[in-house]
Amino acid sequence: MTRSPGSVVCAAAALLSVIVLCQVSHVPEHHRGRFAGRGAEPSPRGCAVPEFSDEELDAVELLTSKVRRARRLTAAQVAAGAQYLGTIKVVFHVIYYTQGGQDIGKLTAQQVQNQIDWLDDAFENLDFVLHNVTYTNNQSWYFMTPGSSAEAACKNALVVDSSRYLNLYSVDGGGLLGWATFPWDQAAQPALDGVVIAQSSVPGNPPPYGEGDTAVHEVGHWCGLYHTFQGRCSPRGDLVADTPAQRTATSGCPVGKDTCRQPGLDPIENYMDYSYDSCMYRFSDGQYTRMSEQLQLYRPNALNP
């Protein structure tokens, strides 16, 4: 189900596993395991890493073409998946710490469920259900940052079969609202796969980033989407034809923002921009098509009937 602006709203073949594990070595080293993030409030959202270079995009697309041939994925299957793919089971890892007798960052069961419901509402072609919740009292892990030893330790200890489940971690964020891994990295780095969000971003927190859209944005990356401003005004852009070219990330909700000469205003309402949560409410048809292909190629075992 999709929110309107007003409401703001299958087993993998053994051969394929070998192909994925081997071919991922052709992705540039500084790209593998890369994170995509949204910066902390109240400043304009920033990213944990620079935008992808043409070399990195070429490497990922080459890998994808090889996996596509191995899986024999058809255009009809991709089109069908853009309408509906299935259910994603989420393992929600709540990281917190205790200080002065108070639990810092410990989400309630209702807050966890509200975030799952928000995800379920945002994606038209996917359902999201809560499979399990874990609670871990660890101050070091609570303050993890992308690529840190704390993140590696946390994920290696807590991850639940990332080929079958979306592992979602709530932490402080270390100055970021969230970050995520991409589908093509899962086979090579299964323990690190998943989405991390700041606990302050779940539904019910103050604006401008407290409605739950950080998780939507990061799960978009987990499903294979780039930022809408990837590639700036280049024809290639974010590899999705129906998202207008966009030179810069959006801060706030500036209606009429237009940073490129190509047709179309900047898609400030798109979940893959950096707009305020109150501004975001949709993915494009082309993004649903891309997610369909990426998930069927790289995360087939995570798709449940």
For every residue of 17-83, DSSP letters joined together read HHHHHHHGGGS-TTTTT--EEEEPSSSPP--SSPPPPHHHHHHHHHHHHHHHHHHT--HHHHHHHHH
Q: Tell me: pLDDT of 303 over 80.
A: yes
Segment 193-217 shows an average pLDDT of 96
pLDDT band at 21, cuts 50/70/90?
very low
Q: Beta strand pairing status for 102-104 and 195-198?
A: unpaired
The residue that leads in pLDDT, 9 or 56, is 56
Q: Distance (Å, rounded) from C-alpha 218 to C-alpha 173?
A: 13
Name the DSSP class of 252.
Answer: S
Segment 52-59 shows an average pLDDT of 91
Catalytic center residues? 218
For the chain, the structural domain boundaries read 15-302
The residue that leads in pLDDT, 211 or 52, is 211
Tokens of 86: 């299935």
Partner residues linked to 196 by β-bridges: 169, 179
Contact 119, 9 (CB under 8 A): no
- pTM, two decimals, is 0.87
Q: Tell me: pLDDT of 224 over 80.
A: yes
Q: Tokens 């991922």: give the residue.
A: 24
Residue of 261, 290, 249, 263 lying closest to 57 (CA atoms): 290
Q: Beta strand pairing status for 86-99 and 36-39?
A: unpaired
pLDDT band at 52, cuts 50/70/90?
confident
Q: Tell me: pLDDT of 30 over 80.
A: no
Q: Which of 118-122, 156-160, 229-233 has the lowest mean pLDDT?
A: 229-233
Tokens of 287: 């993004």
What mean pLDDT, rounded, does the chain reach? 87
Q: What is the pLDDT of residue 51?
A: 77
Q: Which of 1-10, 97-106, 149-158, 165-174 has the lowest mean pLDDT?
A: 1-10
Q: Tokens 């500036």: give the residue.
A: 254
How much helix, strand and coil, in percent to the nearest 5, is found in the chain? 35, 15, 50
Q: What is the pLDDT of residue 223?
A: 98
Sequence-ordered list of residues with C-beta below 8 angstroms from that of 81, at least 6 positions apart, any chain: 125, 291, 292, 293, 295, 296
Q: 126-150 burial, b if ≥16 CB within 10 A, otherwise e? A: bebebbebeebebeebbbbbbeeeb
Q: Distance (Å, rounded) from C-alpha 141 to C-alpha 143?
A: 5
CATH 3.40.390.10 describes domain 15-302: yes
Segment 117-135 shows an average pLDDT of 98
Backbone angles phi, psi at 135, to 5 degrees: -120, 125
For 146, how many CA atoms within 13 A lie in the half-sphere containing its CB? Answer: 23
The residue that leads in pLDDT, 286 or 2, is 286
Q: What is the pLDDT of residue 205?
A: 96
Q: Tell me: pLDDT of 8 over 70.
A: no
